[in-house]
């Protein structure tokens, strides 16, 4: 019988509340060494924090790379190599980063090991040469230093690949799969978003990643799911269930924002009122950055601000002025940068509830007017019934 990881060791009650089942699945995935796994996570679902905690909990060595830092395959190669050195040869990290002399004993030891495997350490350290070649070397460096099983988790890789042009993303995934096939000690965990390039590649018969691994779905928790998980995390979570539910509803299930709203809530009063006060305090604290995010929407796509306003008001995005193709392009672009997602089929939502709340107050006049008309029509229909 498989161990019940969800009830074994809970590192953080807030982290696991809403994700107790996924926590167990993640630990089991790492323990069983399944080769290549794509974690398909909703935006702001808390998957990154969950994955980081699971990797720390695992008894096997691991490396976690955040692909948001990377613009291309060369950046990704350097990030993987940097992570491998820091995790597997920490005494050589100063040499690797150029903060220790070339004659460093630890550095010379790593350099000899890499030369033995035909890897030029200087090219990886300085980011010279062709990106895909450096990526292959970074993966080989990782397995050479590990000298045994190693898990490489690349977080937010889907968003990075979605913003590359032409076949660049396909080539990166091809290199990752080849590295896994060549070395069974290397396990890959690649984090994607719904309908992202990794998930699509696993189902594409023409793609190098076709059927190369399995998927693990991590959804943004509902307020009900968060409260239900208190049965497991209650020893570490002292928050009243009513306060937690109200805060989660205001934060649209985003775990980090839910707990921030609770932290900023007053210590007394009715729980719904406390949650609302905490949420409004959070909105006020983030007002400058959210307003800036709203302004920058125009740089994402010319129609992005209009589309975000419409969705935030509960209108269908294709009701927005403009051609249907323009709306589709804006929606796809918003999804690829993690600003919009589809919680259900044919349904769009804004990922950040703070931005959505701001958009409801600052949407374009046509959207505000359309919502008012819809409310009047709904009221008349209700009175007739």
Q: What is the pLDDT of residues 263-283, one digit of tens each?
A: 999 999 999 999 999 999 999
Taking the C-alpha atoms of residue 165 and residue 149, their distance in angstroms, rounded to an integer, is 33
Is the pLDDT assigned to residue 6 strictly greater than 60?
no
In a 10 Å sphere around its CB, with 0-12 CB exposed, 13-18 middle and 19+ buried, how is residue 3 labelled?
A: exposed
Going by C-beta distance under 8 Å and a sequence separation of 6 or more, which residues neighbour residue 119? 137, 140, 141, 144
pLDDT band at 101 (very low <50, low <70, confident <90, very high): confident
What does the alpha-carbon distance between residue 262 and residue 282 come to, in Å, rounded to a whole number? Answer: 9
pLDDT of amino acid 298: 94
Structure confidence at residue 100 (pLDDT)? 86
At residue 380, the pLDDT reads: 47
Mean pLDDT of 154-175: 95
Q: What is the mean pLDDT of residues 211-239?
A: 92
In which element (H, E) is residue 366 found?
A: helix 365-384
Q: Is the pLDDT of residue 2 over 50?
A: no
- pLDDT at position 384 over 90: no
Residue 7 has pLDDT above 50, yes or no: no
Residue 28 backbone phi and psi in degrees, to 5: -65, -40
Segment 16-53, tens digit of pLDDT: 999 999 999 999 999 999 999 999 999 999 999 999 99
Q: Look at residue 11 in the predicted model and tell me its pLDDT.
A: 59
What is the overall mean pLDDT for the chain?
Answer: 91
Work out the average pLDDT over 242-262.
Answer: 96
Q: What number is the average pLDDT over the span 301-330? A: 94
Q: What is the Cα–Cα distance from 228 to 382, expressed in whole angstroms?
A: 34
C-alpha 68/C-alpha 62 separation (Å) is 19
The predicted structure's pLDDT at residue 63: 97
Looking at per-residue pLDDT, the higher value among 118 and 197 belongs to 197
Q: Which residues pair with 216 in a beta bridge?
A: 39
Q: Per-residue DSSP letters for 25-83?
A: HHHHHHHHT-SEEEEEE-TTSSHHHHHHHHHHH-SS-EEEEEGGG-SSHHHHHHHHHHH
Q: What's the gap between Cα 224 and its chain centre?
A: 22
Rounded mean pLDDT, 72-98: 95
| Residue with tokens 């589709």, as numbered in its chain | 328
Q: pLDDT grade, residue 257 (50/70/90)?
A: very high
How many other β-carbons are positioned within 10 Å of the β-carbon of residue 59?
8
CA 223 – CA 70 distance, rounded (Å): 34
* Rounded Cα distance, 117 and 140, in Å: 8
Q: Which two tokens stand for residue 361?
A: 């107050």
């Amino acid at each position: 019988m498989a161990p019940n990881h969800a009830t074994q060791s809970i590192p953080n009650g807030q982290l696991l509340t809403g994700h107790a089942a996924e926590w167990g699945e993640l630990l089991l995935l790492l323990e069983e060494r399944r080769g290549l796994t794509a974690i398909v996570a909703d935006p702001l679902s808390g998957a990154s924090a969950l994955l980081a905690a699971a990797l720390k909990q695992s008894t096997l060595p691991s490396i976690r790379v955040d692909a948001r830092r990377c613009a291309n395959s060369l950046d990704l190669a350097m990030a993987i190599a940097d992570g491998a050195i820091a995790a597997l040869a920490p005494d050589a990290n100063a040499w690797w980063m150029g903060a220790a002399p070339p004659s460093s004993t630890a550095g010379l030891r790593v350099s000899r090991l890499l030369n033995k495997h035909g890897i030029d350490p200087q090219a990886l350290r300085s980011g010279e040469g062709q990106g895909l070649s450096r990526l292959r070397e970074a993966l080989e460096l990782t397995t050479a230093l590990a000298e045994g099983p190693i898990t490489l988790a690349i977080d937010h890789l889907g968003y990075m690949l979605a913003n590359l042009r032409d076949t660049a993303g396909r080539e990166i995934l091809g290199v990752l799969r080849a590295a896994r096939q060549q070395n069974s000690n290397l396990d890959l965990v690649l984090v994607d978003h719904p309908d992202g390039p990794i998930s699509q590649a696993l189902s594409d018969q023409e793609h190098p990643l076709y059927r190369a691994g399995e998927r693990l779905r991590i959804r943004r928790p509902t307020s009900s799911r968060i409260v239900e998980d208190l049965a497991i995390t209650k020893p570490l979570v002292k928050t009243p269930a009513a306060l937690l539910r109200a805060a989660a509803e205001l934060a649209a299930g985003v775990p980090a924002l839910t707990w921030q709203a609770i932290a900023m809530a007053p210590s007394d009063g009715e729980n719904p009122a406390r949650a609302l006060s905490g949420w409004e305090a959070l909105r006020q604290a983030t007002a400058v950055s959210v307003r800036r995010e709203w302004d920058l929407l125009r740089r994402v796509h010319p129609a992005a601000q209009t589309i975000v306003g419409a969705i935030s008001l509960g209108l269908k995005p294709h009701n927005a002025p403009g051609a249907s193709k323009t709306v589709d392009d804006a929606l796809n672009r918003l999804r690829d940068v993690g600003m919009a997602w589809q919680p259900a089929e044919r349904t769009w939502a804004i990922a950040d509830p703070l931005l959505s709340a701001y958009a409801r107050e600052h949407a374009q006049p046509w959207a505000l007017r359309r919502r008012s008309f819809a409310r009047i029509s709904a009221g008349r229909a209700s009175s007739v019934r």
